[in-house]
Chains A and B, each alone.
Chain A
Amino acid sequence: MKNKIKISELLDNRYFNYYLPIILLFVLTLFFGVTTGGKFLQLQNLQMILNQALVVGIVATGAVLIYSSGNMNIAMGGSTAITCIIAVNVYLSTGSMLLMFLTSVVVGIAFMGMFCVLSEVFKLSIVVITVLFMTMLISLQEWIVGGKTLKVSYESLKGLQQMNVPILIFIIYFVICFILFECTKLGRTLKFIGENKDCARQTGIKESAAVTIAFLVSGLGVGLGAFSIIVRASSVGGSTAGGLNMEVVLAIVLAGTPMTGGNKSKIFSGIVGAVMVTMLNNGLLQLGVSSIYIQAIRGVFFVIMVMMSGKRPEVLPVKDMV
């Protein structure tokens, strides 16, 4: 009885609750470090893991803003892919890396802006809009590049890869999102909307304004993510960013942001979750676990994290019952 209370007290402690995913990440790192005899902890390996996580990390960081308000965006994969396609086409016509970057950013933001506008115009929930677009965008992608691939010359991207441009992009974007989410009223507003929409409205919060900003900032993430995909893979094809939606949700939830959003949302969920996933992939493979089992283990991890984040502290009977 005493131990039970202690554990639930710990889980209640807001600092522990907040930093738990980071603690878990650390534990996971140690675990793999020990079980692989240190191979896992080699700098090159850790760098590789981080690089593999970057695209998802970038897009998921922006997505946290959306999910924290209790909304969802399941057209992220499609938007990212189309953004890649448009950006690469711009590069192929102009030869300018800078233009490709700017196009990525503008198109990414424009996509999210479009969702917001359509939601207003048709008075549909923005989640519904993203559902509508999800399949449309995937079909569009298939239609434009299905079977083919758009290539950016590897030579021109080599420089960017060596300069670790994706990591720099991530750091800058994360700082922006962190400031917006933790230091300005935007984050607090979004989290409160995620907790209780009606109460937020009655407190004078304008949900549409806050959510629109969240989508736009997330759009920036989509644009930056698209650019990072191009830098890493140097090509865009029919299956680019397929599965990105699921990977983003997986990352966010794995690292402690509930799917329903609210107060427990954490801005670092995107990157921490993404790194957890790539870490699991890399570490388990190093331990000789077959790929199929790795998928299963990822799934189990996910379920456990969801169960833990949804856990309510054991409440003593409240006065209503007594």
Chain B
Amino acid sequence: MKKMISIILTAAICLLMFTGCSTTNPNSASNGTSASDGTSAADETSEAVNPSESDEPKAKEAEPCTVAIAVGTYNSQTLKAQKYFTEYLSKELNVNFVFSEELGGDVSKNLTFVENAYAVGAQGVIDWAMLSSDDVVPIAEKCEQLGLYFSTWLVGSLDSISHLDHVVGVTAGNDAVIKDMFAEMVNEVLSDGEKHNLVLATAGAHNGSVQQVRASVGILEAYRDMYGLTYSEDIEKLAMLDAVTEIETGVDDVKITIFPKFTGDELSNVLKNGEYDVVAVAANLYLRFESVIKEIEEVHNMDIKVITVTEISDTTYNSFNTLDPMGNPSLNAAFLTTSGKVTLTLALLLNGIYGDIDAILVDGKPATYNNQSWICYSPEEYEVINKVDTSEDTYIYNADEFKQMLKFYNEELTAESLMNYAQEYSSKESVFARRGLD
């Protein structure tokens, strides 16, 4: 009797575990080698506008291959990407994907996954799991050892792995313009000519995270220009402070506090007097601060403007559409990283697997490929953005456009042309135009 109950309970637990998973079926071929039979590639005429294209339809079909993807956490972004890869690209490109379990930033677990991926017959590994640039190095080196191609989105890692032959390149959120984009957001949101006190949540800037440093610098520069501030120190140094600090601005009625912490409670401490009415967040931490900000707004009957990095997901949709107690939108400006960043990692990797790595190296070394980030200022705009990547008609890159990033299909591909292509095609305007969302 007891045994029967245990068996039933075990079965129930197993079943319930799957309810938490996304509805997509992770790719699982019946044997570990080749993928589902591929449809022939690109026999339809390509609709995409390609700067370095040729007009003939490509009838080539690439050899089936296996790509392993190391996942840190299965958040909505990863799940969307997984769906895109396994349900769409897999068929179109004849590629088999092997996804890891949640590795959570653990180097040993990732190494184990890479070894197992090799055993399964993968030819390349994309890393979406490591949280720090240093951690990428052993993974890249293990891939090198096993002869697997490697790409990642951790831009800070490139220098330490560029000497490895199998590293195909890294993708980034276009750090060069991040500063300007954040400055633009500040200017747009605070364009009322009033003075606003700012809490700048710098997140991992003090640890050297490039994007967060640039974002923080951008915000501080915009503030400086807007209010004619004089900082006592170098802006980058200020952005990288590792303790909560009210910095000198040179102007009495403009206060700025640098907030390099991660918890809502600590933020509440800073905001509790109601002196600050702008919160800018340089990383995807808004959700942690959302309820605290709402509370302060209620208590002090004020509107706190929020500028933050966030992801394209239902939670952001909710944040945009929720009005704060004052009847104002909760989010004022969102800096969004799109799936283009992860798609690029695949494009780079496949070039390596297909033997075309030389086409994407710069001076014989792997390079950084930028993906445009988007800014959204309103719920209406977000409504449109939220439609991206939800169906075959709304992917940032459809199959043909994706193939243009592979030398195998696009013989004229060079590193430079790919960089330009990625830059252009990942922009909000281009995507909206191509997908009829504008």
Contact = CB atoms under 8 A, between A and B. Distances in A.
Decide if the interface of chain A is mainly helix, strand, loop or mixed. helix
Interface residues on B, range: 35 or more
Given A285-B116, A300-B14, A154 B100 contact: no
A291 B120 CA distance: 13
Given A52-B112, A239-B106, A290-B28, A296 B119 contact: no
Contact of A237 (B115, B118, B132): B132
Given A148-B132, A149-B134, A285-B120, A242 B104 contact: yes
A286 B119 contact: yes
B134 A294 contact: no
Contact of B119 (A39, A151, A289): A39
B119 A45 contact: yes
B135 A237 contact: yes
A148 to B, nearest CB: 6
A239 B107 CA distance: 8
A243 B98 CA distance: 23
B26 A292 contact: yes
A154 B119 CA distance: 23
Contacts of B117: 285
Interface in B109-155: 109, 111-112, 115-120, 131-132, 134-135, 137-138, 141
B298 to A, nearest CB: 32
Contact of A233 (B10, B14, B138): B138
A293 B21 CA distance: 11
A235 interface: yes
B17 A239 contact: no
Contacts of B132: 147-149, 237
A189 to B, nearest CB: 32
Interface string A258-299: 000000000000000000001001100111111111111001
A238 B105 contact: yes
Interface stretch (B29-37, B182-190, B303-311): B29-37
A286 B32 contact: yes
Contacts of B204: 147
Decide if the interface of chain B is mainly helix, strand, loop or mixed. helix
Interface residues of A, number: 43
A278 B25 CA distance: 24
A69 B141 CA distance: 42
A290 B6 contact: no
B108 interface: yes
Given A290-B26, A291-B101, A36 B32 contact: yes
Contacts of B335: none
B119 A48 contact: yes
Contacts of A235: 107, 134-135, 137-138
Given A149-B135, A287-B32, A299-B13, A282 B108 contact: no
A232 B116 contact: no
A296 B13 CA distance: 9
Contact of A288 (B25, B32, B141): B32
Nearest to A236: B107
Given A154-B138, A237-B132, A303-B6, A292 B108 contact: no
B207 interface: yes
A234 B138 contact: yes
A232 B138 CA distance: 9
A30 B306 CA distance: 59
Interface string B1-27: 001001000100110011001000111
A238 to B, nearest CB: 7
Contacts of A39: 119
Contacts of A51: 115
A236 B6 CA distance: 40
Interface string A134-156: 00000000000001110100100
A307 interface: yes
A290 B99 contact: yes
B6 A286 contact: no
A281 B118 CA distance: 13
A255 interface: no
Given A148-B132, A291-B100, A282 B10 contact: no
B116 A282 contact: yes
A253 interface: no
A296 B14 contact: yes
A281 B107 contact: no
- 8 closest residue pairs by CB, A with B: A233-B107, A290-B26, A149-B134, A291-B101, A239-B105, A147-B207, A290-B28, A239-B106
13 contacts: A51-B115, A147-B207, A151-B137, A154-B138, A237-B135, A282-B115, A282-B116, A285-B116, A291-B101, A296-B14, A296-B17, A300-B10, A303-B6
Interface of B: 3, 6, 10, 13-14, 17-18, 21, 25-32, 98-101, 104-109, 111-112, 115-120, 131-132, 134-135, 137-138, 141, 204, 207
Given A296-B17, A303-B10, 10 more contacts: A233-B138, A243-B109, A285-B117, A287-B32, A290-B25, A290-B27, A290-B99, A291-B99, A293-B28, A299-B10
